[in-house]
């Protein structure tokens, strides 16, 4: 069968590449055409555009590149119609992908599948109308999304497992976690974009400085960010900077300071107590927006999956060096540390041990066989 996939960023390229491999394992005649990245290209098929030509985030960058975005969207719609795939698979990236879904649903009979559902439970919940109208099957990687879509919005979805949990399990199965230092490690994961790093890393470093005689402080460099960018923050200190070794770092860390995102879930799955730290612009305004516009109580995936506060989140006005240091002190030893580790077990149980891409591929092909009869 013929599969057309669209991703808009690096994480989508990773998850889609795993899904493509799983589809090929079941459907040996699978043919792929896609908007994607290098990892998808390595699996095989024809890449139409690299996701880097689509990946504009934030109001100003999107506005500046609007002609390019619209041109790519128009070309993508026509390319799908011309190629006539057996299904369209959208991966995250809702701003672009929901527009494509609307066009395909209105103008073709091609079934639309969405892998890694849009996070409308946090923001832009009105998009549920588009999803109900334009998406035939929705595949979720977060267990709490089932209640949100099915109970609140009466839209059935498939929870297929969590790919991050898959990846951590595979790493732990295949790797050694022997210490290579006499000092225990405090890991700092300050985000994946320069602005996040600039906002969060200085306070993290200042908070961790108190412990540098007893712990090795290690910063996990983000992919695509040059080492020179980090030097302005770590030069003149004993802080170590590593790239491409986040899982190795977390497998050895005693505690971590983490900017919210997938990294919070990874840190949990490695059993490393953490403090979630995220500096927001104009803290009083950020606190107001979070209170009145965000639809969720928490921002970290750990707490969202658990449905309660397992890890402390320092955001807005609570993001201070003193607060970070205080919370870090609590999780280095003692009752708070053990309580967090116990909470992590609840998160792992909620995620389950199913392989997300394998489950999604099997369900997609089963649905397609029924549809094509």
Please check whether residues 174 and 115 belong to one and the same domain: no
Give the pLDDT confidence score for residue 224 in this predicted structure.
79
Q: How many domains does the chain have?
A: 2
**Same domain as 116, residue 12:** yes
Same domain, 15 and 136: yes
Q: Could you tell me how far CA 191 lies from the centroid of its own chain?
A: 12
Total residues belonging to the chain:
373
Q: For residue 298, give the nearest of 309, 287, 288, 289 by alpha carbon.
A: 309
Q: Which of 372, 371, 369 is nearest to 23 (CA)?
A: 369
**Co-location of 57 and 144 in the same domain:** yes
What is residue 189's DSSP assignment?
Answer: E
Q: For the whole model, what pTM was predicted?
A: 0.87
DSSP assignment of 310-354? SSEEEEGGG--HHHHHHHHHHHHSSHHHHHHHHHHHHHHHHH-S-
Alpha carbons 304 and 347: distance in angstroms, whole number: 9
| Domain co-membership, 61 together with 134 | yes
Give the domain extent around 106. Answer: 2-161+354-372
* pLDDT confidence of residue 123: 84
Looking at residue 280, its pLDDT comes to 82
Angle between helix axes 66-83 and 94-107 (nearest 10 degrees) is 40
Answer yes or no: do 67 and 139 share one domain. yes
Residue 364 and residue 342 in one domain: no
- Could you tell me if 220 and 76 lie in one domain? no
- Strand-pair partners of 257: 188, 275
pLDDT per 10-residue tile (average), the chain, 373 residues: 94 94 97 96 95 61 63 92 97 93 97 96 93 97 96 97 94 70 88 91 96 95 91 92 95 95 95 95 58 72 96 94 97 96 97 95 94 75
Are 361 and 323 members of one domain? no
Long-range contacts of 80-85 (CB under 8 A, 24+ apart): 80/4, 80/104, 80/108, 80/110, 81/107, 81/108, 83/2, 83/4, 83/33, 84/2, 84/110, 85/2, 85/3, 85/4, 85/33, 85/110
Task: Using alpha carbons, select from 23, 34, 29 the residue that is nearest to residue 79.
Answer: 34
Return all residues near 276 (Cβ < 8 A) that are at least 6 apart: 258, 259, 260, 264, 299, 300, 302, 311, 312, 313, 314, 315
Residue 141's pLDDT is: 96
Does residue 280 contact residue 255 with C-beta atoms inside 8 Å? no
> Is there a single domain that holds both residue 251 and residue 363?
no
* 347 and 358 fall within a common domain: no
For residue 333, the domain's CATH number is 3.40.50.2000
Residues 65 and 178 in one domain: no
The tally of CA atoms less than 13 A away on the side-chain side of residue 61 is 6
- Beta-carbon contacts of 122 under 8 Å, excluding residues fewer than 6 positions away, are 294, 295, 296
Give pLDDT, residue 205. Answer: 97
The rounded distance, in Å, linking the Cα atoms of 368 and 156 is 17
User: Nearest Cα to 311, choosing from 360, 354, 346?
Assistant: 346
């Amino acid at each position: 069968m013929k599969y057309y996939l669209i991703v808009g960023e690096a994480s989508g390229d990773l998850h889609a590449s795993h899904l493509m491999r799983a589809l090929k394992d079941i459907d040996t005649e699978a043919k792929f055409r896609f908007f994607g990245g290098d990892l998808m290209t390595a699996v095989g098929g024809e890449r139409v555009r690299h996701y880097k030509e689509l990946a504009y985030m934030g109001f100003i960058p999107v506005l500046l590149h609007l002609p390019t975005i619209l041109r790519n969207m128009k070309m993508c719609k026509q390319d799908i119609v011309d190629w006539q795939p057996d299904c369209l698979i959208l991966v995250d990236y809702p701003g672009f992908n929901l527009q494509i879904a609307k066009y395909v649903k209105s103008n073709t009979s091609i079934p639309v599948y969405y892998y890694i559902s849009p996070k409308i439970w946090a923001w832009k919940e009105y998009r549920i109308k588009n999803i109900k109208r334009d998406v035939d099957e929705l595949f979720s990687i977060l267990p709490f999304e089932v209640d949100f879509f099915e109970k609140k919005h009466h839209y059935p979805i498939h929870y297929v497992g969590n790919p991050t949990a898959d990846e951590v399990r595979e790493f732990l199965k295949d790797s050694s976690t022997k210490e290579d230092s006499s000092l225990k490690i405090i890991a700092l994961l300050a985000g994946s974009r320069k602005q996040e790093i600039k906002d969060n890393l200085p306070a993290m470093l200042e908070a961790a400085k108190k412990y540098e005689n007893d712990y090795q402080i290690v910063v996990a460099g983000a992919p695509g960010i040059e080492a020179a960018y980090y030097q302005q923050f770590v030069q003149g200190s004993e802080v170590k900077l590593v790239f491409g070794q986040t899982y190795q770092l977390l497998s050895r860390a005693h505690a971590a300071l983490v900017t919210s995102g997938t990294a919070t879930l990874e840190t949990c799955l490695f059993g490393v107590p953490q403090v979630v730290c995220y500096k927001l612009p104009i803290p009083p305004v950020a606190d107001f927006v979070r209170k009145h516009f965000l639809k969720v109580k928490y921002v970290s995936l750990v707490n969202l999956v658990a449905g309660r506060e397992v890890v402390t989140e320092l955001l807005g006005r609570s993001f201070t060096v003193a607060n970070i240091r205080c919370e870090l002190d609590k999780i280095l030893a003692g009752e708070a540390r053990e309580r967090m580790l116990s909470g992590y077990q609840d998160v792992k149980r909620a995620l389950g041990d199913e392989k997300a891409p394998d489950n999604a591929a099997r369900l997609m092909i089963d649905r397609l066989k029924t549809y094509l009869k």
